[in-house]
Amino acid sequence: MPFKLEELQKAHEAYRQFAEKNPPAHHARYIFPFFTGSYFAYRKVDVLRVVAVAKAVNDNPDYLDVGCGYGDFLKRVREYLPGASGVEKEGGIFYALGATKPDYIGIAPVESLSRPVDIAFVGWMEPGTDFRRQVAKTARCIITTFDAGGQCGINGGCEYDEFGFERIAWWRTPSWIDVNAELMNRYYTPSLSEEKKRHLASLRSAHNFWYVYAKPELADKIREALAYIAKKEDAKKEERYDFESVLDECGFGYKEELATVTTAKRLWEVILD
Ligand SMILES: C[S@@+](CC[C@H](N)C(=O)[O-])C[C@H]1O[C@@H](n2cnc3c(N)ncnc32)[C@H](O)[C@@H]1O
C-alpha cells in the first residue's frame, strides 16, 4: 500500500479512471484492494467464523480491527457486532481523498493503545510491519490473516505461540494478489491464447492464511464454536456476498481443491489444531 499521501492520491486517480471504464462487476475490488476491498479475499463465511469466535470469547465482545485501513472487512463484521471498532495509524488516508472517517475507526498506532480487548483482528500487514507483541498484550483472542510469502518481521511468519497464545484453527484463502493474477490472465492480457489461459489457471495458488489464536483457557470454547459453524455453513448458499462470484469464476471456489499446494489443499476448509 502506498503510504506517501501523494502516491495514495495517484493510485486513487488510477482507480477512478479504471472505474469510469465500467469494468466487469467487482473487478476493482481485486485490482485496487485498498480503496474498495481488502488485501485478503474473504467470503461471508469468513465474517461469520470471525463473529462466532468473538461470541465464544464474550457474548458482547470488545472487537478491534488493527490496521483496518478504510474498514471494508470491519464494516461487514459490524453487521453482526455493532460495537466493533478499528484502529488505523494513517489518518491521512481519509483526508487525502476527502473521505469521511467513520466514528468507529480511531486514528492511532496500535502501539499507543492500552485498553484490553476480547478480540484483535489483524488483516494482512505490509511485509516488515510487526506489532505482534503489542497485540498480544492487548487481546485475549487474535485472528490474523497473512501472506505465506512472508510478513511480520524478517522471519516471515505471523505466529503468536511465543506470546503465550495457543493456535486453535487455520484455513487457506486467496490473497488479493492471487485473484488479481487470475483476473489479469483472463481479462486484461488480450495476447494470451485460450490454451495458455487454461494452463496458467491450472497453476493458480492461494497464499493467504487465517490463524485463530487464543489464551489457553479460551481454547476449548473457541474450538467448539468454530467446529460447529464450519459444519453448519457447508450447505448454506445464502451465506454469500455478491463479489464472491469473482472468486468462483477465478477458480477459488468454496472448498475447491488446489493442485499446486501441499497443505490445506481445500480452500476455506477449517483445520482444527
Ligand atoms: C496492507 S494495509 C491492510 C489494510 C486492511 N487490514 C486490509 O487487509 O485490507 C495495512 C494497514 O495497516 C495500517 N498500519 C500499519 N501499521 C500500523 C500500526 N502500527 N497501527 C495501526 N495501523 C497500522 C496501515 O496504515 C495500513 O492501513
Report whether pLDDT(110) > 60.
yes
Report whether pLDDT(125) > 50.
yes
User: 236 vs 211, which has greater pLDDT?
Assistant: 211
Across the range 130-138, mean pLDDT stands at 92
Of all residues in the chain, the percent with pLDDT exceeding 90 is 82
The pLDDT-based confidence of 181 (bands split at 50, 70, 90) is very high
Cα–Cα dist 253/267, whole Å: 7
Look up residue 258 and give its DSSP letter: P
**Which of 44-58, 69-83, 152-166 comes out lowest in average pLDDT?**
152-166
Which stretch of DSSP H or E encloses residue 138? helix 132-138
Beta-strand ranges (E) seen in the chain are: 63-66, 85-88, 105-107, 117-123, 139-147, 166-173, 208-214, 271-272
C-beta neighbour count of 114 within 10 angstroms:
7
Give the pLDDT confidence of 1-46 residue by residue, as tens digits.
546 888 999 999 999 999 999 999 999 999 999 999 999 999 999 9
Where residue 220 sits, what CATH number does that domain have? 3.40.50.150
Ligand 1 centroid from CA 208, angstroms? 16
Ligand 1 centroid from CA 67, angstroms? 3
Tell me, what's the pLDDT at 223? Answer: 97
Displacement of CA 209 from its chain's centroid (Å) = 9
Ligand 1 centroid from CA 2, angstroms? 11
Of 33, 2, 40, 27, whose CA–CA distance to 184 is shortest?
A: 27
Cell 481454547 belongs to residue: 219
Across the range 33-62, mean pLDDT stands at 96
Q: What domain range includes position 234?
A: 5-272
Cα–Cα dist 156/21, whole Å: 38
Tell me, what's the pLDDT at 100? Answer: 95
Report residue 176: phi and psi, to 5°.
Answer: -60, -30
| Ligand 1 touching residue 46 (CB < 6 A) | no
**Over the chain, what is the mean pLDDT?**
92
Tell me, what's the pLDDT at 87? Answer: 97
What residue owns the CA closest to ligand 1's atom 18? 109
| Ligand 1 touching residue 129 (CB < 6 A) | yes
Tell me, what's the pLDDT at 156? Answer: 58
Report whether pLDDT(172) > 50.
yes
| Ligand 1 touching residue 1 (CB < 6 A) | yes
> Which residues are within 8 A (CB) of 106 and not within 5 positions of it... i.e. 6 or more apart?
85, 86, 87, 88
